[in-house]
Chain A
Amino acid sequence: MRRISAALLILLLIAAAATLRWSRYDYASQDRDAIMTPSTAQHEAGTDALGRDRIVRVAAALVIGLAGSTAAATVTIMIAAGFGLLAAFSSKTLAAILLFVSDVFLSLPWLFLLMMARSLLPLTASPLATAVTTFLVLAALGWPACSRAIYRGAVELRNAEWMIHAHASGLRTRQMIRLHLLPHLRPLLLPQFLICVPAFVVAEANLGALGLGVGEPLPSWGAMLLELDNSALLARSHWVYLPIALLVIVLLALESFTSEIETHA
């Protein structure tokens, strides 16, 4: 199942990249003679309310969503690992303060915090800036759950006999972390990273559906979900459902891939 999920994701990414590379349309180019059209020879999956090709926009949303979420997950894991290791190898007081900070983040509703942080951007921000900020905000707010797990793993390893032996042999904390702890933490970091990717895809979609995600004309899953509010579009073509169908397929593949890795870990 894991292989099927991975193959499906790779196939989708290749198809999206090929569409973006060889399509005659750009994700932002508007065909004024073909506004809200159903499937035609020029636009196989129709166009949106501004005459933009739907297939190209869905392909771009897929690439942006996956690339942004993967980058955000990488940043999250790096912050979480730094935070967890710092808490595990610091004094009890500092560890308690660090864990309380992570608890504050962890206990507040995530989407609410995201919405708040994202809304603080200037209204004149460029689409690329909104995309980068959205995923950075996701990364900045996603680390506490991972840091808890990493902290627990690091404490367990710190108290292991071979670590105590390494410490007694004169290894410095940095050396112990680099040489022993991080390689042993890898089986924990990988599932945490994989859990973050679909979570960030979903969070971006929810933010976008509220009008707080990636700015137009850059396509995103959330912005494409907003199309479903347009009853005129819905009446003309069933291709409007393409983004949501593809999003569910991508998330399903990511979820099954992650679950298998979690089980193996």
Chain B
Amino acid sequence: MDGADLAGALAIGFAAGMSSGLLGIGGGVLFVPGLVLFLGEGQLEAEATSLLAVAIVALVGAWRQHGYGNVRLRDGLIVGGLAPVGVALGVVMANSVSERALELGFAAVQLYFAWELAQRALRPDRAAAEQEPEG
């Protein structure tokens, strides 16, 4: 690892954290390529290592957001605690449905979510005004 790789890892790490704080995601989407490109990890090792970084970042992010009054802890723990059921279901799906169908299916779901959120973001004042006090 040379200086440029180190700088790259630090920069992509910071960007991942920023995304995590702004968007409520774990940051794995940036950690994984960062670990492969700058720290020379293989894909499997990078995905595994990314999860530890995700857990650390999410912990600090959840703590900060809790301070801002934005965490419903019970709901979050229910979703986190039950997610392994979904992981197991995902393994079953991976072995029974074609990978391409799964990719297209989840992409369609995400595009639908994007459409709904964009409509809310673009809708004039009433909806935004309703959301502001909540947030």
- Chains A and B are bound partners: no
> Which B residues are within 8 Å of any A CB, using their own CB?
none
